[in-house]
């Protein structure tokens, strides 16, 4: 498995990222992540295929219990109201689903939080697994209706926020492009 150095750090601590970086046009790797519904406490597995035909925005964070990740999840909660209705927004971390559900309830955040706590597959497949921390590197992925990567940002400094505007614009473009246009490379 590929390991990348020099691509993630926090306060002078250099981190090793496991997995290859995804690029524009790559097929998004499938995933199976846990979601605990805060309203009824039911656990479910969420897969990429569950939202086939939609645009998906994955906001990947270290942990919802950290200040920058907390701010980012709130920012996406606000921005999601400005996105087309078929754009699905998810915040993904390795936090336990129970902790994610408590956080969602306490913070009044309604977009789904997905937990990669069971194994490192999502982290490796999306190229965001921080080896030293066994957490995920801050990143944003927009996946178009044909399951292709339409936008990707890997945030190097874990104390910095992603470029929300660029990711939101990419999600809007992906939502207004037909699958035929996407396959033809026209967006």
Question: Residue 140: which CATH number?
Answer: 3.40.30.10
**89 has which bridge partners?**
57
The residues assigned a catalytic role are 69
The 10 Å Cβ neighbour count of residue 181 is: 12
Question: Is the pLDDT confidence value at 177 over 90?
Answer: no
Question: Is residue 186, in this structure, part of any structural domain at all?
Answer: no
Question: Is residue 182, in this structure, part of any structural domain at all?
Answer: no
Question: Is residue 118, in this structure, part of any structural domain at all?
Answer: yes
Q: What is the pLDDT of residue 178?
A: 67
Based on the number of CB atoms within 10 Å of its own CB, is 7 exposed (0-12), middle (13-18) or buried (19 or more)? middle
Token pair belonging to 184: 């033809």
Considering its fold, how many domains does the chain have in total? 1
Lowest mean pLDDT among 67-71, 122-126, 168-172, 181-185: 181-185
Question: Is residue 44, in this structure, part of any structural domain at all?
Answer: yes
């Amino acid at each position: 498995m590929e390991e990348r150095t020099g691509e993630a750090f926090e306060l002078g601590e250099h981190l090793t990222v496991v997995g290859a970086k995804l690029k524009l046009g790559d097929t998004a790797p499938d995933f199976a992540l846990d979601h605990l519904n805060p309203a009824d406490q039911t656990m479910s597995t969420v897969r990429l295929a569950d939202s086939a035909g939609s645009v998906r925005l994955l906001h990947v964070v270290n942990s919802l219990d950290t200040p920058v990740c907390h701010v980012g999840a709130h920012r996406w909660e606000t921005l999601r109201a400005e996105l087309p209705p078929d754009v699905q927004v998810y915040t993904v971390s390795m936090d336990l689903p129970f902790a994610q559900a408590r956080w969602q309830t306490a913070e009044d955040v309604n977009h789904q939080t997905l937990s990669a706590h069971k194994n490192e597959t999502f982290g490796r497949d999306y190229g965001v697994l921080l080896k030293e921390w066994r957490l995920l590197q801050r990143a944003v992925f927009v996946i178009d209706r044909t399951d292709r990567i339409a936008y990707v940002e890997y945030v190097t400094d874990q104390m910095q926020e992603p470029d929300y505007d660029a990711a939101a614009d990419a999600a809007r473009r992906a939502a207004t492009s037909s699958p035929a246009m996407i396959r033809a490379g026209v967006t």
